[in-house]
């Protein structure tokens, strides 16, 4: 589904990301782990054509992302709060994203009912604009919005950060469900090794922009990763 070819990103001569070859097959749930500055967000930004690669390219479903915009119709993503429109209520935001994916109000309502538990009664019908929600609740909105329009690729940057423990476990359930769908490729980045190992089939560890580990998840994965990141 996603092919990375000779991809690198440099800022003023410093290489922050360098991936010569990476292929993520369709239906895989892909976890990206690494310390701060490892290049996780840079990789996702490149994948979403928010920054320009210094060399190489990424193909999303055979579409090269920096030359063709067609990938936008089947890719859902949430990197940070700048993906939210502060002056809308959560419902209006969902409908707005829905409109862009040619989903009508009823489609969206049906989707929202499915995630009522995840919202924990703090999101819908609360007479609050998104800008006035707490960080955690904003994140809930952003995550669910990526699922609108039956995307084939879902990209979540640090989805577990800022969430309370109950919501984290509910989110893990949602991601696992997504991962079970053979048509959906999920990409998740995180600092949290345990959460990532739990929800992903495959884990790639980045360090200073380079891939240092690429493992299919097994019982020993967590230990292996913890050992790797321990000083």
Partner 1 sequence: MIKKFIYLEWKAFTRSASFGKSVAMKVIIGFFMIYFSLLFIGGGVGVFYVLKKMNLEPFETVNKFLIYYFLFDLIIRLLLQAIPVLNIKPLLVLPFKKPTIVHFSLGKTALSFFNWIHALFFVPFSIVLVLEGYSISGVILWNLAIIALIYINNFLNIILSNIDKLFVVFLAVIAFLGGAQYYKWFDITTFTTPAFLGFYNIGWMFLVPVFLLAGLYAFTFKYFKNNLFLDAGLSKKEDIATTEDLSWLNQFGTLGTFLKNDIKLIKRNKRSKTTIVMSVLFLFYGLIFFGNSHQPEVMQIFAGIFVSGGFLFVFGQFVPSWDSSYYQLMMTQNIPYRGYITAKWWLIVIATFVSTILASFYLFYGWQTYLIIVVGAIYNIGVNSHMVLLGGAFTKTPIDLSNAGGAFGDKKAFNVNSMLLSLPKIFLPLLLYWLGLHFADKTTGLALVAGAGVLGFIFKDKVFSLIEKRYKIEKYSTISAYKQKN
Which residues form the interface with partner 1 (CB under 8 A)?
48-52, 69, 72-73, 75, 77, 79-80, 82-89, 91-92, 96-97, 99-101, 126-129, 131-132, 149
**Residues found in the chain:** 231
Closest approach, Cβ 60 to partner 1, in A, equals 11
Closest approach, Cβ 37 to partner 1, in A, equals 17
Q: Which is nearer to partner 1, 101 or 172 (CB)?
A: 101
Strands 210-216 and 55-60: unpaired
Distance (Å, rounded) from C-alpha 148 to C-alpha 121?
20
Q: Which is nearer to partner 1, 36 or 52 (CB)?
A: 52
Closest approach, Cβ 59 to partner 1, in A, equals 17
3-state SS string over 102-140?
A: CCCHHHHHHHHHHCHHHHCCCCCCCCCCHHHCCHHHHHH
Closest approach, Cβ 171 to partner 1, in A, equals 20
Q: Which is nearer to partner 1, 43 or 211 (CB)?
A: 43
Q: Which is nearer to partner 1, 97 or 186 (CB)?
A: 97
Closest-CA residue to 56 (of 8, 93, 10) = 8
Closest approach, Cβ 231 to partner 1, in A, equals 31
Non-local (6+) Cβ contacts of 111 within 8 A are 94, 144, 147, 148
Q: Which is nearer to partner 1, 22 or 79 (CB)?
A: 79
Q: Which is nearer to partner 1, 34 or 142 (CB)?
A: 142
Q: CB atoms < 10 A from the CB of 128, how many?
A: 14
Closest-CA residue to 7 (of 67, 58, 71) = 58
Closest approach, Cβ 117 to partner 1, in A, equals 23
Expressed in percent and rounded to 5, the helix, strand and coil fractions of the chain are 40, 25, 35
């Amino acid at each position: 589904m996603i092919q990375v070819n000779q991809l690198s990103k440099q800022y003023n001569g410093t290489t922050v990301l360098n991936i010569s070859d990476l292929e993520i097959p369709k239906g895989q749930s892909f976890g990206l782990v690494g310390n701060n500055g490892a290049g996780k967000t840079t990789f996702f930004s490149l994948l979403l054509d928010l920054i320009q690669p210094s060399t190489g390219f990424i193909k999303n479903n055979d579409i090269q992302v920096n030359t063709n915009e067609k990938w936008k119709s089947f890719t859902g993503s949430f990197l940070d709060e700048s993906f939210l429109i502060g002056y809308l209520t959560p419902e209006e935001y969902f409908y707005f994203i829905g409109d862009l994916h040619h989903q009508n109000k009823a489609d969206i309502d049906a989707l929202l009912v499915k995630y009522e538990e995840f919202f924990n009664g703090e999101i819908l019908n609360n007479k609050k604009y998104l800008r006035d929600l707490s960080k955690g609740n904003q994140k809930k909105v952003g995550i669910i919005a990526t699922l609108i329009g039956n995307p084939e690729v879902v990209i979540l940057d640090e989805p577990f950060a800022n969430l309370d423990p109950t919501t984290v476990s509910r989110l893990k359930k949602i991601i696992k469900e997504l991962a079970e769908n053979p048509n959906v490729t999920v990409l998740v980045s995180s600092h949290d090794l345990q959460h990532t190992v739990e929800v992903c089939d495959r884990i790639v560890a980045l360090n200073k922009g380079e891939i240092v580990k690429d493992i299919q998840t097994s019982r020993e994965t967590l230990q292996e990763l913890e050992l790797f990141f321990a000083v």
